[in-house]
Structure 1
Amino acid sequence: MDVLGQKLAINGVLADFGSETLRTAAGVSVALRPQAFAVLRYLAEHAGQLATKDELMHALWPGLTVTDDSLVQCIHEIRRAILDNDRVVLKTAPKRGYRLVRPEGADETRFGAASAADGGQLVGATKVSIAVLPFVNMSSDREQGYFSEGITEDIITDLSRWQSLAVTSRSATFRFEGQRLSVQAARRELGVHFLVEGSVRRLGERVRITAQLIDARSGNQIWAERYDRPITGLLALQDELVRTITGTLVGRMFVSAAERLRSRPPCNPSAYDLTMLADWLAWDRPTARTEAKRLFEHAIELDPGYALPHSLLAMLLRDDWHFGLAGSPEILDRAFTLAKRGAELSDGESASHAALGFVYLDRQCFGAALSHVERAAEINPANPVTKADLGVLLSRIGRAEEGLEYLRDARRIDPYFAPLLYRPAPGVAQFVMRRYVQALEEFDRGAPTDAEASAMMAGCCAKLGLAERTQELVAHCLAIQPEVTIGGLVTRALFARASDREHFAKCLRLAGLPE
């Protein structure tokens, strides 16, 4: 991580990397030489990872000839400054290097609690960390060796696109290539929350890839899958498998991490913890939705510079506006302010661009909406959410065939992907293409619960002459939103093309919805 401008609290001592100062909970300054502070900064940037002596010497004394004594003296000064008398925070790997880790018993998803001198707020929360161990080549074929290495490297690269993850570098994990490393040893050496292991085996004209995700603390397997593919077109096969494995890995990992947060007492949680937990809650349930908003608001209070809670709260508010839960224009205005701030804070966060894109869609700025959602997909092409977002948007702007393919691609990337908010989307795409039978099938498969989808289903049934079911769906739509009208539904549907808006209105009139 880049710690510039961030703070780190250890044993009641707060390191401010912006001002390069240390102070105690009572506000007393702690002396530390600039060179020692530079060592602390480097170790904090690579928290949980072993920093070798050569690596530290090269980074901190480039082009100079210095002895190990200089580094040892810096480490001694850091330990004394941060009260690390028992060496539980700054660990030594004999003859190899040093690693900055959490103290035993500290919270698993942040480095430490902020001191009273920092107003009780938490700063510099660490990310969920993951290491991808080299995939094992189970074949004697040399070409498969290159293939297994390529799979590993590409998974590391694609995981690194998620800004909410701390991914161990290739150089740190490939030093274990060819070794049988236990989960406990890997956790001790790499200091991560999750491990990815896998293997590659050629079976005649087919190749078999296995992958598994392991909780490094418990040693439990969270997810495992096997992929059998024809061996033709290795590069295309590699791209497909990496995208699928990465998308599924991230989904399973965040479910596991969020479940652990949910079961933990809410004692002094960090902005990152709050954001993860709020994102994991079932937003379709009113009580969970209210709690998610509260958690996002609290996260923003704790860390106003953290982009993700701004963006996710914006999505919640725009959904409130869109589905008539809070139809005030001020709600959409606040969503827009939050979404813009999220994108400003983190231009490289795909979720921030997606959020801003959808608020632009609500404001009927279709070009800006497409630009930001495409940017989100460009930043993180292995994220099934960004694929689904692009599919939803393309269906609304008259490119429904493309949109449907992106929605299917989201499920191909992660077979577990099924958020409630995206379930009506394939039906909408089919409806836009005037495929009423297929649209009904998609809607029935997703079992949508919102008024727009129920009205669209009623329109499909009316077109197909299914009078009884049309009446049932109209009644269901009015039960969800008693004040619903054709004009309101067409406006909120946000179709860019006039022909799609007119088509929707005609279907709703045929179904018998009120004007």
Structure 2
Amino acid sequence: MRRSEFVKSDGSFNKVHRIGCYCLQSNKKYIVRLLGPPLITDIECHVLRLPTQKSLALLAMIADAAKGGLRREQAAATLWSRSPEAQARTNLRQALSVIRTIIGEEVILSSGGMLALDRNLVALDINALSYATIEPGESVSTFGGAFLDGISVNEPPFEEWLVAKRASYARAVRDILFDAGSAALNTGNAHRALLAAERILALDQFEEAGMALCLKAHAARGERSRVQIRFEEFERLLRNELGIDIGPDLVALKAKLLRTADAKATMPIAASVPTVLVLPFKPLSDMPDHQYFSEGLAEDVITQLSKFSTLTVVSRKSNSDADTHQENLAKAVETGSDYLLTGSVRWLGERLRLSVELIEVASGAVKWAERLDRQSLDLFDLQDEVSRYLVGAIPYRIENDVAENATNKPADELQAYELMILGKRLRDTISLEGNLEARALLEQAVKKDQGLARSHMYLSDSYVVQHWFGPLDASGKERALYHARRAVALDPRDVHIQDHLGFALLVMGHWDAAEAQIRNALSMAENEIESLSWCGYALLMLGKHDEAADIIEAVAKRRTTLPPTFEWILGQLLSFQGRDAEVVQTLNGASLLNSTGLAFRAGSQARLGMLEEARFTLAEFKEARLRDQRLAGTKAKANTIESALGGFRVLWRRQEDWEHIAQGLRLSGMPE
């Protein structure tokens, strides 16, 4: 039986589509996810919310029941065990009424005292587990989840039932993930194997089989230091939480992987993305605490950089404090690294001075150097702050260097990663012209390497940005969503990819699904400044101004220099907050970016009484809109609010937000 199909009763097959890693029939009216936090949607991805945990619990019990259904008496006794029998039956009827009202009258069948879901209408993720596999290219880090995660109704019979069901479903999910991870290792896809292992450990942090898969995946990726670090973390976890030691099989596996890695230490690493060698930071102090700080800082940087899909990270121990610049470069050459990160830590009382250099191995040139001075009484807080700063800077410095080098190469010699970086650079202009040019490069990148997730993400983004200048047709929207989902399937741990899926859903007009996706990305973002910025902008478009402000203003406080794209976002937020003087100051020069920035600037100037300046900006806005319309192949007309701004309505969930922009243009002198 193929895993991507459901079998009909007559033995023929139904074609399916997949949502959230589960096989779902295309003719189903409702989709119910019970693994992880419960989620009910219709086929258009509209979320259907049940008001109480008991109504969700009842739906889950009915869904889990065998084909014959769930007895009413059992449901009432399980969910209302403390109530008299008559009251329990009444409560059951009320809960059933709520489910039918919110989801649909026809969704629950009742016959002869039995309750059952109409499985012709409802697709269930738990049904897929009995014959599911995770196919190549499909997401593993979102597969499965604790059954009814977050649900607790304080009824002993139900809690007992729930514990048993969670254990049963967890075993099924674990087995599927382990098979997927093992298959990925066998085919050389170590990244996918690592994602499967991480998911197993997220479901059960004490699972030794999951940790074994994790260590094998790190070893296959050439990440020797991560093998040691993850093993030690797992060892501490078992001792502290369970009071037990790691089993001998896992100890032996770790030793074998490290021996193999040491034997291959002189072999160059092949990778389609840049490789950076991180050497321990030299502590210019003999105090043990300072030495531990230096070691911990390097480990934190390695751990956080390893999360970037656009980098391969390797590490080596320093032979001595006297290692020379040439010796360090030799280590980078031995490991096949493109870049070398080195540094030193000096202490003066409670003050720290960190000096760090990013060196291009081929030329020996220093591509980035920084000196940080910090003061803190808490070494752990200081270590976190400094590592966040470094991890926030290094990937983007490498991207910029790759882009600069790529611009000097003949077009036919560009690799997929280089094409992707050049496409990203054009995408970051947030202009229609730049994104149309980016699309051509990104299509080449995808053609050269279908597995480079960020190429799919930025290709999708080229359609999203085009939508901001004039609504896409159905085909363009579908391409935006297809490539966004493809990127997530390839690398679900990349928070930038996760937040972009939210924007693709915004293009489709799926407001609730987009908001849920953005919140999912926010839960992963941590210190990813760029992703946090775009999540804030998405919430602004969704009408969540206060939440957007909290995120965007927090980002502004954490950056010493702000890129034009961030100031473009910040300027729009300030406009909605009525801070027009700051809008004029922020949306200026490079941060204007496009016609959207001009529209907000003109409105703020007009509200401040700067009418001559507002008219000048309005003229720039009209010219920019005409240029956008010509590039989009639509009728070029921008002499009224409707002709110039009407297409922007689809971008804002609340029409009063669009009206805010329109009112600013009216004040600037633009007719309806």
With normalisation by structure 2, the TM-score equals 0.56
The equivalent residue for 2:670 is 513
Q: Deviations over 1:196-251 (max 9, x none)?
A: 11222222332212221111222211111111122233322222221111111111
17 and 46 in structure 1: CA distance in 2 versus 1, 3 angstrom threshold = closer
The equivalent residue for 1:133 is 279
Secondary structure of the structure 1 residue equivalent to 2:359: strand
Matches within 5 A, 1:221-236: 221-236=366-381
Paired amino acid for 1:451: S
The equivalent residue for 1:486 is 641
The equivalent residue for 2:462 is 316
The equivalent residue for 1:503 is 660
Paired amino acid for 1:262: T
- CA drift of 1:159 comes to 0.6
State yes or no: 1:173 paired with 2:348: no
| RMSD between superposed Cα atoms in Å | 3.8
Paired amino acid for 1:475: A
Matches within 5 A, 1:154-165: 154-165=300-311
Q: Deviations over 1:238-266 (max 9, x none)?
A: 22221111111111111112222332334
Kept in 1: contact 2:333–2:361 (CA 8 A): no
Kept in 1: contact 2:275–2:313 (CA 8 A): yes
The equivalent position to 1:258 in structure 2, one of 403, 407, 410, is 403
Q: Deviations over 1:34-73 (max 9, x none)?
A: xxxxxxx999934598999xxxxx999968x99xxxx9xx
Unpaired runs of 5+ in structure 1? 7-15, 21-40, 53-57, 72-92, 103-109, 112-124
- CA drift of 1:514 comes to 3.2
Kept in 2: contact 1:387–1:410 (CA 8 A): yes
238 and 446 in structure 1: CA distance in 2 versus 1, 3 angstrom threshold = farther
Kept in 1: contact 2:311–2:395 (CA 8 A): no
- CA drift of 1:299 comes to 2.2
Secondary structure of the structure 1 residue equivalent to 2:286: coil
- CA drift of 1:385 comes to 1.8
Give the Cα separation in 2 of the matches to 1:506 and 1:43.
56
Give the Cα separation in 1 of the matches to 2:445 and 2:472.
25
Give the Cα separation in 1 of the matches to 2:665 and 2:436.
32
Secondary structure of the structure 1 residue equivalent to 2:309: coil
Secondary structure of the structure 2 residue equivalent to 1:201: strand
Q: What is the number of residues matched between the two proteins?
A: 427
State yes or no: 1:248 paired with 2:393: yes
Q: Deviations over 1:78-106 (max 9, x none)?
A: xxxxxxxxxxxxxxx9xx6234745xxxx
429 and 59 in structure 1: CA distance in 2 versus 1, 3 angstrom threshold = same
Q: Deviations over 1:106-148 (max 9, x none)?
A: xxxx94xxxxxxxxxxxxx532111211111113333222222
- CA drift of 1:401 comes to 5.5
- CA drift of 1:410 comes to 4.9
Kept in 1: contact 2:402–2:418 (CA 8 A): no
State yes or no: 1:152 paired with 2:308: no
Kept in 2: contact 1:247–1:413 (CA 8 A): no
Secondary structure of the structure 1 residue equivalent to 2:486: helix
The equivalent residue for 2:482 is 337
Give the Cα separation in 2 of the matches to 1:258 and 1:59.
46
Structure with higher Rg: it is 2
State which drifts further: 376-385 or 453-462: 376-385
Give the Cα separation in 1 of the matches to 2:221 and 2:601.
53
Give the Cα separation in 1 of the matches to 2:562 and 2:368.
14
The equivalent residue for 1:238 is 383
The equivalent residue for 1:74 is none
Give the Cα separation in 2 of the matches to 1:220 and 1:491.
48
Kept in 1: contact 2:463–2:480 (CA 8 A): yes
Matches within 5 A, 1:368-383: 368-383=513-528
250 and 512 in structure 1: CA distance in 2 versus 1, 3 angstrom threshold = same
331 and 209 in structure 1: CA distance in 2 versus 1, 3 angstrom threshold = same
323 and 213 in structure 1: CA distance in 2 versus 1, 3 angstrom threshold = same
State which drifts further: 431-440 or 255-264: 255-264
321 and 195 in structure 1: CA distance in 2 versus 1, 3 angstrom threshold = same
Q: Deviations over 1:318-360 (max 9, x none)?
A: 1112123x85343233212221222223212223212211122
466 and 265 in structure 1: CA distance in 2 versus 1, 3 angstrom threshold = closer
The equivalent residue for 2:200 is none
Kept in 2: contact 1:323–1:450 (CA 8 A): no
Unpaired runs of 5+ in structure 2? 1-134, 138-183, 189-215, 228-247, 627-636
Kept in 2: contact 1:197–1:213 (CA 8 A): yes
The equivalent residue for 1:362 is 507
Give the Cα separation in 2 of the matches to 1:504 and 1:229.
43
Kept in 2: contact 1:128–1:164 (CA 8 A): yes
State yes or no: 1:202 paired with 2:347: yes
Give the Cα separation in 2 of the matches to 1:191 and 1:231.
37
State yes or no: 1:458 paired with 2:565: no
Secondary structure of the structure 2 residue equivalent to 1:209: strand
Give the Cα separation in 2 of the matches to 1:413 and 1:59.
45
The equivalent residue for 1:439 is 583
Identity %: 27
State yes or no: 1:45 paired with 2:202: no
State yes or no: 1:328 paired with 2:483: no
